[in-house]
Every structure is written in structure tokens, then in C-alpha cells.
Amino acid sequence: MIKNSAMPQQNSPLSIEQLVKQFTKHHSKHRFIRHWSSKAAVAIILQQRQDDVFVLMQKRVERKGDPWSGDMAFPGGKAEKSDKDSWATACRETMEEIGVSLDKAQYLGQLSDMVAVKHQLNGLMLVTPHVCILEGPINCQLNHEVSEVVWIPLSLLMNANQQSIFKKDVGHIKIKFSCYFYGHYKVWGLSLAMLKKLKKIIHKD
């Protein structure tokens, strides 16, 4: 299922021109552990829609035993030996998960490396987020890992006043986490951390 939502917003709209301009000043940072850690990459796909920039996010299929079951995420996944580089990983995974080619995307750049816990919770993985612009209609073909694709206004996710808190069971205790709600969709965790890095770039003088 694909959602192109247009919920009421009270946020300062962004433009593609702003993003392109800000990325010309940006220099990503690589973590030292990238030389021996497992690697992954995601694609943060942007598009000008209505009077705002929207970001494509996918909702993971709910599965028993999956610690991120039903979470909102960006298309992406683990690097393979056949991948030319990190961007190639993001492109391949995007095609595999949602059936979208990034061959004609306008590549803006990458965010600094981020450290994540592996799916099996047995180690760390280095994740590189790549930001691009993809114009025109996008027809998604979702695989078994994805239940929905949603376009969310980037200005909402950049507005600190829209940030909320929710509690999640971790072991035998409840821990508070920051999040953003877009309707019933909840953006939090590593995806939210990536968006905060993107926010710093957008608002950098």
C-alpha cells in the first residue's frame, strides 16, 4: 500500500533549492570503525510536492521476533561484496525493497556514518545515509519486508515543536524515546537520528 498523504500542516515549508544549496557546503564524516565493521546504507529520497519537500519512508512488515517490526524506515540494507560502493548498496536495496530505481535521481550527498545494532542484536553495523531527489511519479512494488510506503512532509520532521515522546518496553523496563507522529505513523530511533542530521545541514548558516 502506498500513501501520498496531505495532512494539515503548520510548518515552514522547504524547497528543493534550499536543500541543494545547503548540501554544497556539507562534508560528511566517516567513523574509524568502518574499516572493520559490517556496513549498510539507506536512501533518503526527497521530492517537491505541493508547497513542501516530502521524504519517502517505508513501514516494515510486522513480524514476531523482529525488534523493529512495524517501524518506519528508509529503504536500504546490508552491503554486499558485489556493491561498487555505499551508494550502490542504497540503490540496490531500494530496488529490492520497493521496486524504485535511483538511476535518474539527483544525488545530493551522504550524511555522516551512523552506528546501529544489527538485526540479530549481536553486534554493531555502520549505516551510511544517502540523500537524493527523485522527480516525477514513483510507482512502488513492495517486497515481503515492506507493508507501506508513505510520503511525509519534511518540514514537519524538521519542526521541534512537533516532537513527541513515547514509551517502549526494553527488557523489563519502559524507556522514553523521542518521536514524530504523522497521522498514525511514528518516526523514531535511527531514522529520526538521520533526519536530525539532515536538519543540521538544512539549517546550517
Q: What is the CATH number of the domain that holds 148?
A: 3.90.79.10
At residue 104, the 3 state secondary structure works out as coil
Mean pLDDT by 10-residue block, N- to C-terminus, for the chain (205 residues)?
49 83 79 70 94 95 79 96 96 98 96 79 82 95 96 94 90 91 95 94 79
The answer as to whether 184 is a domain residue is no
Residue ranges of alpha helices (H) inside the chain are 16-23, 86-98, 154-157, 189-202
Q: pTM (2 decimals)?
A: 0.88
User: Which of 134, 145, 67 shows the shortest CA–CA distance to 103?
Assistant: 134
Q: How far apart are CA 150 and CA 59, in angstroms?
A: 8
| 1 alpha-carbon distance from chain centroid | 18
pLDDT of res. 9: 46
Furthest C-alpha separation in the chain: 47
Q: How many domains does the chain have?
A: 1
User: What range does the domain containing 64 cover?
Assistant: 2-158+190-202
The answer as to whether 97 is a domain residue is yes
